[in-house]
Amino acid sequence: MIGGKLGCRPQFVERWENTLEPFFVKNLENVQGDERDVIFISTVYGPDATTGIVMNRFGPINSKQGHRRLNVLFTRAKHRVEVFTSMRPSDIRTDEKSQRGVHVLGVPGIRGEGQTRRRICEWA
């Protein structure tokens, strides 16, 4: 399925088709229970095209249990987590009133300055 959409060579897809775990795309609320060697996370939050400001409305991450949702997401990876984002560390603003999930999202290991793709965790 994915090979055809990405224009891969048929022999490559045929060779690996029965050995690879299926690829899936899920939102934060539906990822529980699914494990993969690598989890790719893409944020849908980024700077406004006009102002360049990132509104700090992080959906379920802003809830009281937001840190738990992130924990479930991060622990679905057997080996590593890769994050793709257009946010910079300074875009995530936290204070004493911010929910724990926003603080977790703001951990320096998760937000690398000047990078749009970064490895945040890797297991042996």
Give the total number of structural domains in the chain. Answer: 1
**Residue 13 maps to a domain:** no
Task: Indicate the pLDDT class of residue 8, thresholds 50, 70 and 90.
Answer: low
Reply yes or no on whether the pLDDT at 117 is more than 50: no
Q: Is residue 38 part of a domain?
A: yes
State whether residue 76 is helix, strand or coil: coil
Query: Is residue 114 a part of any domain in this protein?
Result: yes
Is 52 a member of any domain? Answer: yes
Selection from 59, 122, 47 nearest residue 88 by Cα: 47
Q: Which of 94, 89, 93, 92 is nearest to 111 (CA)?
A: 89
What span, in angstroms and rounded, lies between the C-alpha atoms of 29 and 85? Answer: 19
Give the pLDDT score at 115.
43
Task: Judge whether 10 lies within some domain.
Answer: no
Confirm whether 112 is domain-assigned: yes
List, for residues 27-74, the tens digit of each pLDDT value.
888 888 888 888 888 888 888 989 989 898 888 889 999 989 888 888
pLDDT at 85 over 70: yes
**Cα distance between residue 117 and residue 2, in whole Å:** 22
Which range marks the domain in which residue 30 is found? 25-122
Q: Classify residue 8: in a domain, yes or no.
A: no
Asked if residue 7 belongs to a domain, the reply is: no
pLDDT tens sequence across 98-116: 999 888 887 655 544 444 4
